[in-house]
Amino acid sequence: MLLLPAMCLLVTFTHYPVVKTIARSFYGFGTKWESKATLDNYRYLLEDEVLMQVLYNSFLYAAITVPVSIVLAIAMALWVNGKMAGKGLLRTAYFTPTVLPMISVANIWLFFYSPEIGLLNKLLGVFGHGGVNWLGDPSVALYSLMAMTIWKEAGFFMIFYLAALQTIDQNLYDAAAIENAGKWTVFRRVTFPLLMPTTLFVLVNALLNAFKLVDHLFILTKGGPNNASNLLLYYIFENAFSFFDTAYASALTVLLLLVLVVLALLQFGVIEKRVHYR
């Protein structure tokens, strides 16, 4: 009974459209419905060279942005939690990107990255370097996107670590001090293990975001050049809305779903265990 309102909404806005999407991936052709189910859309999935590139990009993107954001977030939280002067200001600085809407900061980053007039290349120019085509060079573009993603996310995750750090019992540190443990040892043996639940929470968020957050692609690269920075969700958008190929987009959506289900199952397995231990 308590579950009912939530379930109603979930069914309306998640399950029903998902079922329709799955049906479309078998029965669809372009934006139309066919009377017979085929595997055509999936067959095309296998032949699609761009998709292979996109999948590779997506995994690389997640594999780099997630750990880097988390490590930075922990470092930030430790700094801001310490006794450093001016930590209030630092805290604000780290947190700012979270408040700025992606759609407008992406434009500002576009300026940083733009080759002739952009800030990064002007800085490089001071050192006599000819500059990099940050978004126009296929071997760099994806990493430029990652940098922006990390900038946007790390401060957000920091807040969670900050809260977790406050819950750690000061006695543990006192005990460690008596044993004359080094800073690094304390972090490794005391702080980090105690942050584990937070890390898991952040990890779930970060991983899902890595596949969900593509707003900046619309402004910065549109997946280019030559798909060098294309990500799975953006590719789905392209298929659905630029190519009018809802059916193939549906097949891709099913693929994305499978990827996320597998990822999520792995994580929930771990989280369930953690919670039982507590």
Site for other proteins in 134-163 (CB under 8 A): 135-138, 151, 154-156, 159-160, 162-163
**Interface with other proteins includes 70 (CB under 8 A)?**
no
**Based on the number of CB atoms within 10 Å of its own CB, is 135 exposed (0-12), middle (13-18) or buried (19 or more)?**
buried
| Choice from 89, 123, 177, 266 touching other proteins (CB under 8 A) | 89
**Based on the number of CB atoms within 10 Å of its own CB, is 263 exposed (0-12), middle (13-18) or buried (19 or more)?**
middle
**Interface with other proteins includes 171 (CB under 8 A)?**
no
**Interface with other proteins includes 88 (CB under 8 A)?**
yes
> Which of these, 88, 221, 43, lies nearest to 144 by C-alpha position?
221
Cβ partners under 8 Å of residue 208, min gap 6? 260, 264
**Interface with other proteins includes 275 (CB under 8 A)?**
yes
Pattern 41-60, other proteins, x by CB under 8 A: ---------x----------
Measured in whole angstroms, how far is the alpha carbon of residue 158 from the centre of its chain?
A: 15
From the CB of 237, what's the least distance to other proteins, in Å? 8
CB 70 within 8 A of CB 201: no
State how far the Cα of 246 lies from the Cα of 242, in Å rounded to an integer.
Answer: 10
From the CB of 252, what's the least distance to other proteins, in Å? 9
| Choice from 45, 181, 203, 271 touching other proteins (CB under 8 A) | 271
**Interface with other proteins includes 69 (CB under 8 A)?**
no
From the CB of 33, what's the least distance to other proteins, in Å? 12
State how far the Cα of 278 lies from the Cα of 82, in Å rounded to an integer.
Answer: 27
* C-beta of 9 vs 63, nearer to other proteins: 9
Considering only residues 241 through 260, tell me which ones interact with other proteins, judged by CB under 8 A: 241-246, 249, 253, 256-257, 260
State how far the Cα of 142 lies from the Cα of 135, in Å rounded to an integer.
Answer: 8
> Which of these, 154, 134, 150, lies nearest to 221 by C-alpha position?
134
From the CB of 251, what's the least distance to other proteins, in Å? 12
**Interface with other proteins includes 182 (CB under 8 A)?**
yes
Cβ partners under 8 Å of residue 191, min gap 6? 78, 165, 168
| Choice from 71, 96, 189, 193 touching other proteins (CB under 8 A) | 96
* C-beta of 39 vs 123, nearer to other proteins: 123
Q: With contacts defined by CB under 8 A, name the span among 35-43, 57-65, 171-179, 214-222 that binds other proteins.
A: 214-222
| Choice from 177, 192, 268, 270 touching other proteins (CB under 8 A) | 268
* C-beta of 63 vs 138, nearer to other proteins: 138
From the CB of 37, what's the least distance to other proteins, in Å? 19
State how far the Cα of 186 lies from the Cα of 198, in Å rounded to an integer.
Answer: 18
* C-beta of 97 vs 172, nearer to other proteins: 97
Cβ partners under 8 Å of residue 138, min gap 6? 225, 226, 228
